[in-house]
Amino acid sequence: MKKRKLAAAFLSACLLGGCMKSVRLNERGIVRALGIDLPASGGCRLTMQINLPSGEDAVDKPLVIEEEGRTITDALARAAVSQGKQLFLGDCRLIVLGQALAQMDASPALDFLNTNSMITPSATVLLAEGTANEILGIQEKAPRLDAEGLIEMTEGAYHYGRAPRSRLLDLINAAESDHLAGTLAVVSVEGKGGGTSPSPDSQPDEGEASENPEESDASSPDTPESEGASGEKPAQAEVSGVAVFDRGHLGFLMEEEAARGFGWMQKGIRGAPLVVGDERLGKVSTLTVSHRAKIVPEAVGDLLVFHMEVEIRSAVQETALSPGLTFGEEERAYAARLQERLVESQIQEAVDASRRWGYDLFGLSLLVRQKDPDFYQKHQEDWMSIVQKSGYDIQVSCEIERTGGTKQEEV
């Protein structure tokens, strides 16, 4: 007993007395964001937004640094040497994967992130439309688009139903699952400092009258900096799409309508704009007040029917009605039916993408395993065939409230 007490006392003395190495705050480089690219030369290139405590008052000085190495660990070590600081990843809340890395194989990067005990599982993970260096480097031209600004932009897009949650834990779970597909928000930059040319696959179709004309504002809360004397467009970022990952590889980029449909089946939507109209009504713009979505599986022999139910209540913000109309009860009900048709068509696009590409985008395997474990056990080996052959019953109910910041005008 005495030996045990002595051993415990010795261990406590070691811990309190400094036998375990500690790093002082002013010797650390605190990494706020980490970008991982695949350079043409091979290996990896890291871009980091870091804070270096400096001066007597330890004022945080934001910096963007770059380093290349054979592996992520090697590049981090080189960056630590060049900065003269030990890099601390415990406060890293944003991770950006370059497009070339995702197309080739992001599995080694995900393995590093999964096994590094300092990186929080709740970190936001984004896919760059181009390079991670361009996304994180935008801070030098647009200071508000630091790690926190990019995270806030992504959160806003999530609540508007235009992007998934994009958390590291979700991506890792999907990569290790037999059936689940991981989803990430795609971010692009343009103007001074970015230099990327947005991909046409992830840009909105300006010809679609029923889509929200304020999408770029919904995706990014950042107000562009004033244009310089050269007249160049200020640097800005936006959530430009949704990417589907398959075990560390980029599977495909969702079309805009499919991405909107995928968003309506997620939780947490609020303030999402809905713009509908036709020749009879004109145009009505609303913001989502409440939203509920659920999927109920029903076994029908050796197949399933997934009942996808969505309820949306929204408030009118603006109307531009056809001549002679006022926005009364009949027009309100008609606009709600237009909303239902629009949302249903968008969800159908997401379902079609899931079946066409062969990915479980909606977490159906987890749902069926919970609700009907016997069916799942029987069909887990050919699950993706079940996803492709099953029926999908989409039911959308929309209600437009009387109140709201309504502005009416004739068109």
Looking at 103-117, 198-212, 241-255, 265-279, which range is the least confident one? 198-212
What average pLDDT does this structure show over 368-391?
92
What average pLDDT does this structure show over 89-100?
96
Quote the CA–CA distance of 66 and 83 in Å, as a whole number: 11
Q: What is the CATH number of domain 269-411?
A: 3.30.300.210
Quote the CA–CA distance of 36 and 172 in Å, as a whole number: 16
113-152 burial by CB neighbour count: b if 16+ within 10 A, else e?
beeeeebeeebbbbbbbbbbbbbbbbbebbebbbbebbbb
Token digits of residue 353: 């993408």
**What is the reported pLDDT for 140?**
86
What average pLDDT does this structure show over 201-226?
41
- Considering the chain, what percentage of its residues have pLDDT values greater than 70? 78
Q: Between these two residues, 300 and 196, which has the higher pLDDT value? A: 300
What average pLDDT does this structure show over 295-305?
93
Looking at 214-223, 356-365, 377-386, which range is the least confident one? 214-223
**What is the reported pLDDT for 232?**
65
Smallest CA-to-CA distance from 299 within 291, 307, 287 is with 307
Confidence of residue 231 (pLDDT cuts 50, 70, 90): low
Half-sphere exposure of 273 (CA within 13 A, CB side): 19
Q: At residue 178, does pLDDT exceed 50?
A: yes
**What is the reported pLDDT for 189?**
92
Q: At residue 25, does pLDDT exceed 70?
A: no
The CATH 3.30.300.210 domain(s) of the chain lie at: 269-411
- Considering the chain, what percentage of its residues have pLDDT values greater than 90? 65
What average pLDDT does this structure show over 5-25?
48
Confidence of residue 216 (pLDDT cuts 50, 70, 90): very low
Q: At residue 409, does pLDDT exceed 50?
A: no
Confidence of residue 347 (pLDDT cuts 50, 70, 90): very high
Half-sphere exposure of 292 (CA within 13 A, CB side): 5
SS3 annotation, the chain: CHHHHHHHHHHHHHHHHCCCCCCCHHHEEEEEEEEEECCCCCCEEEEEEEEEEECCCCEEEEEEEEEEECCHHHHHHHHHHHHCCEEECCCCCEEEECHHHHHHCCHHHHHHHHHCCCCCCCCEEEEECCCHHHHHHHHHCCCCCCHHHHHHHHHHHHHCCCCCCCEHHHHHHHHCCCCECEEEEEEEEECCCCCCCCCHHHCCCCCCCCCCCCHHHHHCCCCCCCCCCCCCCCCEEEEEEEEEEECCEEEEECCHHHHHHHHHCCCCCCCCEEEEEECCCEEEEEEEEEEEEEEEEEEECCEEEEEEEEEEEEEEEEEEECCCCCCCHHHHHHHHHHHHHHHHHHHHHHHHHHHHHCCECCCHHHHHHHHCHHHHHHHHHHHHHHHHHCEEEEEEEEEEECCCCCCEEEC
Segment 151-177, tens digit of pLDDT? 999 999 999 999 998 899 999 999 888
Token digits of residue 142: 């647009």
**What is the reported pLDDT for 230?**
53
Predicted TM-score (pTM) of the model is 0.80
Q: Between these two residues, 186 and 144, which has the higher pLDDT value? A: 186
Segment 40-69, tens digit of pLDDT? 988 999 999 998 766 544 445 579 999 999
**What is the reported pLDDT for 246?**
87
Quote the CA–CA distance of 291 and 269 in Å, as a whole number: 6
Quote the CA–CA distance of 359 and 261 in Å, as a whole number: 15
How many C-beta atoms surround the C-beta of residue 217 within 10 A?
15
What average pLDDT does this structure show over 373-381?
92
**What is the reported pLDDT for 201?**
39
Q: At residue 110, does pLDDT exceed 50?
A: yes
Confidence of residue 406 (pLDDT cuts 50, 70, 90): very low
**What is the reported pLDDT for 24?**
53
